[in-house]
Structure 1
Amino acid sequence: MASIKQFQVTFDCAQPERVARFWCEVLGYVAPPPPEGFDTWDAYNASLPADKQDAWFACSDPTGVGPRLYFQRVPEGKVVKNRVHLDVRVGTGLVGEDRLAVLKAECARLEALGAVCVQVLVADEENESCIAMQDVEGNEFCID
C-alpha cells in the first residue's frame, strides 16, 4: 500500500502576503512568525533587495490537520480560469434552505474581506447548493 504524503497548495499571485492573509481569514489559518531576528514581516521585507520583497508568504492550519498554503509572486497576471480550486466546506450536512442560508452568510463575510461572489448555484435534482467566488486576486473557489 502506498504511503500517504503531506502536501501544500501553492498559489501564484501578485501580492503573496495580501492573498495569504485573506486565506487565513477564510480558513482560520495562521501566518508564521517573522524570520528570526525580525519583529515583523514588514521589517524582514525591508531588509531585502526590492525585487525580493514580498516574494512569498505561507500560512498553515493551527491544528496541523489541513495542508500548508504557499503563495509565491509571479510576474504574469491571471488570465484564465483555474484548473484546480478550493472548496471551502461550510454547509456540510445541511440541505435546502438551511444550507443556502449558511452559504449566503459566509458569502457576505468573505465579500467583506474582498472576495467576489461569481454565482449562486441553487440545489437541483442532482446537486446541493454552492456559491462560486473569487479571492482578492481573482482565483476561483467555492463555498459549499
Structure 2
Amino acid sequence: MSSVKQVQVTFDCTSPERVGRFWCEVLGYVAPPPPEGFATWDDFNRTLPPEKRDTWFVASDPSGAGPRLYFQRVPEGKVVKNRLHLDVRAGTGLVGEERVAALEAECARLVALGGVRVRLLTADEENESCLVMQDVEGNEFCLD
C-alpha cells in the first residue's frame, strides 16, 4: 500500500507568477505570505540575484482540500499539446443547455482574466459537454 497522502501539480512556464495568479483566480487559490521579514514577495525577490528572481510561484487551496500548485520557470516555451491537463468542474450535476450556459459563463470570466476559449465539445452518448480552454501561457484545460 502506498504512503503518498498528497499530490502537488507542477507547471513549467516562462512567467511563474503570471500563470500562478491566473490559476489562483480560476480556482480560488491563494499565494502564501512572503517570508518573515518581508512585506511583499517583490521585496523578497529584490534580495535575490537576478537569475534567481521570479523563478517560481506557489498557489494553495485555502481550505486545504485541493492539491498545491507549483509554477516553475523553464527556458523553453510550450511547443505541443499537454499530455496532462486539469478539468475545472464548472458544470457538475448540470446537463444539456443548462450545463453549456454554466460552462460559457465561467469561460467568459476566465477569458477576462487572460484565458483563451478553444472549443466547445458537445454532449454525446458517453460524455456531457465540456469546454476546452488555454491558460495565459497556452496550457490546455477543460471546463466540465
TM-score bucket (shorter structure) = over 0.9
Q: Give CA-to-partner distance per residue, 1:36-66, whole Å, 9 cap, x none.
A: 1110111111111111000001010000000
Q: CA deviation at 1:4?
A: 4.6
Equivalent residue number for residue 7 of structure 1: 7
Q: After TM superposition, give the deviation of residue 122 of structure 1 in Å.
A: 1.2
Q: After superposition, where does 1:14-29 map in structure 2 within 5 Å? A: 14-29=14-29
In the other structure, the counterpart of 1:60 is 60
Give me the TM-score of the superposition, normalised by structure 2: 0.97
Pairwise CA distance, 1:30: 0.6
Moved over 6 A (4+): none
Amino acid at match of 1:50: P
SS of the residue 1:26 aligns to: helix
SS of 1:62's equivalent in the other structure is coil
Identity %: 76
> TM-score, normalized by length of structure 1?
0.97
Amino acid at match of 1:26: V
1:127 and 2:119 equivalent?
no
How far is 1:18 from its partner?
0.7
Map 1:13-52 to 2 at 5 A: 13-52=13-52
SS in structure 1 of the partner of residue 133 of structure 2: strand
Runs of 5+ consecutive residues of structure 1 not aligned to the other structure: none
**Count of matched residue positions in the alignment of Structure 1 and Structure 2:** 144
Cα root mean square deviation, aligned = 0.9
Per the alignment, residue 93 of structure 2 pairs with: 93
What SS does the corresponding residue of 2:58 show, helix, strand or coil? strand
Q: Deviations over 1:93-134 (max 9, x none)?
A: 000000000000000000000000011111122211000000
Equivalent AA in structure 2 for residue 88 of structure 1 = V
Paired AA for residue 64 in structure 1: G
